[in-house]
C-alpha cells in the first residue's frame, strides 16, 4: 500500500502524449483520479487510464495563456505534475527574444504560478500534497543551441528546491524528475539519424533509449506514501547518462 494513490486527485500537464501521457496512466493505475490536462485533446490518455482500471478526465489547459491556465487549476488537488514544456533551437548568437520569452513562460513561469496556486489551495484547506516537476538533463548540463530551454530547466531545479524548503514543514513535498533520452515524438529525429542515435547510445550505460513508462514509475514513487520523506530532490532517470 506504500505505493498506492487511492483517493488522491492528480493533475498532469502536457498529458496528451509521450511522457505526460505515461505519467497520467501510471498515476491512474496506482489508484489516483487523474485530470489529464493539455492544450490539445487528452481523450486518448483518458481512454488509456480507463483501460488500466483507473479513472480520469481531460481538461483544456493552454500554458501560452497563463492567466487562464492558473485560473483553470482545480482547487481540490493532492498531486500536481508539471510536465508540459517546449523547446526552440538556434545558435545562441542568433537566438531571438521571442523564442527566449516563449520557452521561459511555458517551462518556468508556468511552473512557478501553477505550484504557487496549488500550494495556496492546499495550505488554505489544511492539507498536504505532492508536486513533481519535470526537469531535464539540461538542469545539470549546458547543451548546445537551446539557451532558453537550458535556462528554464536549471530554473525548474531551483524552484523545486526553494518550494521544498518553504513547504515541507506544512506537508507539501516538492521534487523533480530529470528524464534522460526518452523515445518520444520529440526525439524521433535523433533516433532516426544513425550517427546521432549511435553516439547517444554509446554514452548511455543502460545501452538503450528510455521509455516514457520509465519516467512514470519515478513520478508515481515520488507521489506515493513510500516517498513521504523525500523532498527537494531532482531525480535523474537517464539510464546512467550523468554517471558516465
Q: How far apart are CA 157 and CA 178, in angstroms?
A: 9
Give the bridge partners for 205, in sequence order.
none
Q: How far apart are CA 20 and CA 204, in angstroms?
A: 23
Annotated catalytic residue within 33, 149, 181, 229? 149
Q: What DSSP designation does 234 have?
A: E
Judged by DSSP in three states, 223 sits in helix
* DSSP element (H, E) containing 15: none
Q: How far apart are CA 6 and CA 47, in angstroms?
A: 19
Judged by phi (left if over 0) then psi (alpha if -120 to 50, else beta), residue 82 lies in beta
Length, in residues, of the chain: 244
Angle at 83 between CA 136 and CA 81, to 5 degrees: 115
Active-site residue 33, yes or no? no
Grid cell in block for residue 31: 489508484
Q: How far apart are CA 150 and CA 33, in angstroms?
A: 33
Residues annotated catalytic, as ranges: 149
Amino acid at each position: 500500500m506504500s505505493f498506492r494513490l487511492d483517493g488522491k486527485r492528480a493533475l498532469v500537464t502536457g498529458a496528451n502524449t509521450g511522457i505526460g501521457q505515461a505519467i497520467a496512466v501510471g498515476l491512474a493505475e496506482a489508484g489516483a483520479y487523474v485530470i489529464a490536462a493539455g492544450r490539445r485533446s487528452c481523450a486518448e490518455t483518458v481512454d488509456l487510464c480507463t483501460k488500466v482500471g483507473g479513472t480520469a478526465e481531460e481538461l483544456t489547459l493552454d500554458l501560452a495563456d497563463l492567466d487562464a491556465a492558473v485560473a483553470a487549476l482545480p482547487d481540490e488537488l493532492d498531486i500536481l505534475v508539471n510536465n508540459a514544456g517546449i523547446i526552440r533551437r538556434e545558435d545562441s548568437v542568433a537566438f531571438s527574444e521571442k523564442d527566449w520569452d516563449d520557452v521561459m513562460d511555458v517551462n518556468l513561469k508556468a511552473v512557478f504560478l501553477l505550484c504557487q496556486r496549488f500550494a495556496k489551495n492546499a495550505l488554505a484547506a489544511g492539507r498536504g500534497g505532492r508536486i513533481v516537476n519535470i526537469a531535464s538533463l539540461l538542469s545539470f548540463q549546458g547543451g548546445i543551441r537551446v539557451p532558453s530551454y537550458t535556462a528554464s530547466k536549471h530554473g525548474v531545479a531551483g524552484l523545486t528546491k526553494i518550494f521544498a524548503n518553504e513547504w515541507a514543514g506544512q506537508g507539501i513535498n516538492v521534487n523533480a524528475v530529470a528524464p534522460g533520452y526518452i523515445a518520444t515524438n520529440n526525439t524521433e529525429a535523433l533516433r532516426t539519424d544513425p550517427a546521432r542515435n549511435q553516439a547517444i547510445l554509446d554514452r548511455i550505460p543502460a545501452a538503450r533509449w528510455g521509455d516514457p513508462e520509465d519516467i512514470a514509475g519515478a513520478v508515481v514513487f515520488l507521489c506515493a506514501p513510500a516517498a513521504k520523506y523525500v523532498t527537494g530532490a531532482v531525480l535523474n532517470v537517464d539510464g546512467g547518462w550523468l554517471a558516465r
